[in-house]
Amino acid sequence: MVKFTTTLVKSTDTKFAKRIRKLFFTSLCVLIALALNNPLFANTASNTDLEILLPAPLEATDFLPFSEQSAQVGQLLFYDPLLSGNRNIACATCHHPDHGTSDSLSLGIGEGGDGLGLTRSPGTGTLAATRRIQRNAPALFNLGFAETHTLFHDGRLSIDLNDPTGFNSPVVEFLPKGLNNIIAAQAVFPLISTVEMAGNVNENEVAGAQNTRSDYGWRIITERLRNNSEYLRAFHTAFEDIQQPTDLDIRHIANALADFINAEWRTLNSPFDAFLAGDSTALTQAEKKGLHLFYGEAQCSTCHSGKLQTDQQFYSIGLPQLGPGRTRQFDFKARDMGRINESDNAEDAYRFRTPSLRNVTLTAPYGHNGAYKDLRGIIKHHLNPKQALQNWQSDNLQLPKFQQAEATDFVIQQDQQELNRLYQSIDITNQNLSEKQIDYLVAFLTSLTDQSSLPGRLGIPETVPSGLAVPR
């Protein structure tokens, strides 16, 4: 806490002394006014000898604008399997409101799978899934936050105003121009991922086309929508530049999906936001104690900062390696080295993007690979990552039965050299918290939950224009 100290100087010149005092107090008032109007000083919380700085409450004005008509088209697209190669999976399959806009799995099952959430299976027949998705499906809450500049666990998509497309992305110049924001840019990638939505090369025309060049796959998906009269009418209503079927392209599809995601899941009504807005009764005593730990002694806010509790930067916290991994080109090990895949900087090995903690109680499992199925587990891992890594057990996971994948799920953990590299990469320092303090942190994280945001604004449509089954 900053204290102002003044020293009085006697003067025989009474008028001069009065002028000095007046100047001092005027300056002090100006400094206080500036501080109060600075977002960095929007809120403070006091606890005996501690004063901490808190973010301002999350508000609708913090988000990107959207078109209502475009969002309505995006709702249909989001729940329609027509966008997938084999017409058997939708965006909502792995990002479903019934599962916290994710899938409740450590590592999901994408194209070829059957069912939702914990009941999902690899499917059967010739189109059955052959491997798990490499990383945990992130929740979609607050993706329309205007300050978001980087997405994906490894940050492989980011805003880049120097690039003709407006983004730094894995497909470089083949990313469509005219995407309204980073949500739209992100939305096109699952469509051409073989393990997520496209399917294998020999299974359908989308997978075959994207194997030649990324944008070729998008063209096939666009053609499907051009041939659907209901979608054409909807796009014509939502976008002024669509006058005939050939005017529709992947930009419109991506921007519609982005408007829907932006508008659908915003967490504006959590107890924490009510507290920040001035309601001192919005948090319980346990939640307030957790708040002071989070922004104080436990140092959580070092990385989990800002209105969404993320600095959008990258750190290694030493989570265990598991699953098929997301390997670099020519890498023969089933591992995931994170940010280095994008940056090619050795110091970025095993680093992953700091996730937002909004609605965190609704979005288990936790970590880039879902290594922990409960909050207490991931918090304890942060306190002593190396020890937690040594003691980690697979019962921390939520993995669906998948016989074909299980044989290799944990092979990399037998590689001592890889384990040593992971130990050496850890960026965070150990913390010593009691079980009661962990209770308080869990309580505070619960206060970041906005239950009213979970169903979404428009909700799940009864039907979609393709006539295919809506994921439920």
pLDDT tens per residue, range 56-105: 999 999 999 999 999 999 999 999 999 999 999 999 999 999 999 999 99
Q: How confident is the model at residue 363 (pLDDT cuts 50, 70, 90)?
A: very high
pLDDT at 460 > cutoff 90: yes
Is 327 exposed, middle or buried, given 0-12, 13-18 or 19+ CB atoms closer than 10 A?
Answer: middle
| pLDDT for position 102 | 98
Q: What is the rounded distance in angstroms from the CA atom of residue 93 to the CA atom of residue 79?
A: 8
> Phi and psi at residue 365, in whole multiples of 5°?
-80, 170
Tell me the pLDDT of the chain averaged across its residues.
90
Residue ranges covered by each domain of the chain: 14-54, 66-102+138-266, 271-452
212-262 pLDDT, tens digit each: 999 999 999 999 999 999 999 999 999 999 999 999 999 999 999 999 999
Q: What is the rounded distance in angstroms from the CA atom of residue 293 to the CA atom of residue 447?
A: 14
The second-level CATH assignment, the architecture, of 271-452 is Orthogonal Bundle (1.10)
| pLDDT for position 183 | 98
In this structure, of 3-12, 202-211, 214-223, the range with the lowest mean pLDDT score is 3-12
Decide: 154 and 338 in contact? Cβ < 8 Å. Answer: yes
> pTM (2 decimals)?
0.90
| pLDDT for position 23 | 41
87-101 pLDDT, tens digit each: 999 999 999 999 999
Structure-token pair, residue 367: 């970590």
What is the pLDDT averaged over residues 298-302? 97
Domain 66-102+138-266 has CATH 1.10.760.10: yes
| pLDDT for position 416 | 95
Decide: 330 and 292 in contact? Cβ < 8 Å. Answer: no
100-132 pLDDT, tens digit each: 999 999 999 999 999 999 999 999 999 999 999
What is the pLDDT averaged over residues 301-323? 97
Q: How confident is the model at residue 176 (pLDDT cuts 50, 70, 90)?
A: very high
pLDDT at 30 > cutoff 50: no
What is the pLDDT averaged over residues 376-389? 98
pLDDT at 16 > cutoff 70: no
Q: How confident is the model at residue 5 (pLDDT cuts 50, 70, 90)?
A: very low
- Asked whether the domain spanning 271-452 has the same topology as the one spanning 66-102+138-266, the reply is yes
CB atoms within 10 A of CB 193: 18
Q: How confident is the model at residue 36 (pLDDT cuts 50, 70, 90)?
A: very low
What is the pLDDT averaged over residues 125-145? 96
> Phi and psi at residue 429, in whole multiples of 5°?
-95, 155
